[in-house]
Amino acid sequence: MKQMRYPSISIVTVSYNTSLSIWRRTLQALHDQDYPTSKIEHIIMDAGSTNGSLELLRRQNAKVFVEKTLLDNPLKRMKMALSKAKNEIILFLEPDNIMIGKHWLRQMVLPFLNNKKVVGTFSMHNAYDPSMPAFTKYCSLFGINDPVVYYLNKSEKLPLFETTYKKGILINRNKEYTTVSFDKRSLPTLGDNGHMVRRKILNKVIGKSPNFLHTDAFMKLLELGHNTYGVVHNSIIHYTGSNILSFFLRRIEYKKRDFDGAQHKRAYLVYDSRSGEDKKNLVLYVIYSLTFIQPLYLSVKGYLTVQDPAWFLHPIICFLGLIAYGYSEIRNYCL
């Protein structure tokens, strides 16, 4: 790769009892990066892990802080981590995010160096590993963490059967990355799992709230005119978990915490009831989930790209998502 001026990076991570085997892979991938270590700081805000991960982290070149009283408030822990960051670029790296390739960091900062208007960067795909649990493989193959977000066209990453980024307005495309601009209608769910952003610009929208919610922050950035992103033609592993039931229980809890009854407080809505396009896409999701045909078609399309049976979880996950969110809506309006 070409010689470049490396910007300094503050990696911020919120953790609690993450699987040690995954943590080791995350930290090893970071250690293997072909990037000046003097330009990197890693800030980890833990809630008092009891599975040995704190001992593991303290053996690393990381700044580890423990806030046991904030076990149930990861958003406040993230805000605290951001307040400690000092470098030019913020990298949001969850404990279950594994960088792919030793040049990953260099690839991710390249759009910042070539275009001063670029406020953030993210990988175009989630990485696929055939050794992953089936459900994690499914999420990696489709580039999603929620089927509803996919059908609302709010997922920032692409399925592996798509190789050209077409969301937002195209500014430039080259071998390494695609530069796009978003508006309020096209802005996807940015800000987590390997996203980068210029720290000084992010500080404009952090505000005085004790919590930090990444999707709201990036919508506020857009409202200030910071709408240009580099979509890097690489990937990052995101372990979403192997238990489908626990996954949907978490999604219901996130919906209750961040959406139900809080729409008027949110800058970013994954589903906006005032949006005709969101309404249309949600109706299509319901139809597709009940009939199974369109999800099965996508499963076959994906299987022809990467021959893994995890693609065929898609019709099942779509249907279970419909049941889970339907139950959540009934509970929200009846209780």
- pLDDT of 262: 63
Residues forming a β-bridge with 231: 122, 178
- Backbone φ and ψ of 23, nearest 5°: -55, -45
Residues 207 and 83: beta-carbon distance below 8 Å: no
Whole-prediction pTM value? 0.93
Q: In a structure prediction context, what are the per-residue pLDDT tens digits for the chain, which is 335 residues long?
A: 455 689 999 999 999 999 999 999 999 999 999 999 999 999 999 999 999 999 999 888 899 999 999 999 999 999 999 999 999 999 999 999 999 999 999 999 999 999 999 999 999 999 999 999 999 999 999 999 899 999 999 999 999 999 999 999 999 999 999 999 999 999 999 988 999 999 999 999 998 788 999 999 999 999 999 999 999 999 999 998 667 777 777 777 767 766 666 666 789 999 998 999 999 999 999 999 999 999 999 999 999 999 999 999 999 999 999 998 888 777 777 66
**How many angstroms separate the CA atoms of 92 and 311, rounded?**
28
Neighbours of 132 (CB within 10 A): 21
Angle at 270 between CA 150 and CA 13, to 5 degrees: 90
Helix axes 199-206, 74-84, angle to 10 degrees: 130
**How many angstroms separate the CA atoms of 180 and 263, rounded?**
27
Tokens 């800030």, residue located? 43
**How many angstroms separate the CA atoms of 216 and 133, rounded?**
31
| Three-state DSSP state, 275 | coil
Of 166, 150, 141, 143, the C-alpha closest to 304 is 141
Tokens 């005119």, residue located? 225
- pLDDT of 260: 65
The residues, ordered by sequence, that sit 6+ positions from 217 with a Cβ below 8 Å of its Cβ are 191, 202, 205, 206, 267
The residues, ordered by sequence, that sit 6+ positions from 199 with a Cβ below 8 Å of its Cβ are 10, 85, 87, 88, 89, 90
The residues, ordered by sequence, that sit 6+ positions from 190 with a Cβ below 8 Å of its Cβ are 120, 122, 156, 214, 215, 218, 229
**How many angstroms separate the CA atoms of 200 and 196, rounded?**
12
- pLDDT of 193: 93
Q: For residue 42, give both structure tokens.
A: 């890693």
**How many angstroms separate the CA atoms of 324 and 156, rounded?**
23
| Three-state DSSP state, 9 | strand
Helix (H) or strand (E) holding 90: strand 89-92
For residue 80, give the DSSP letter.
Answer: H
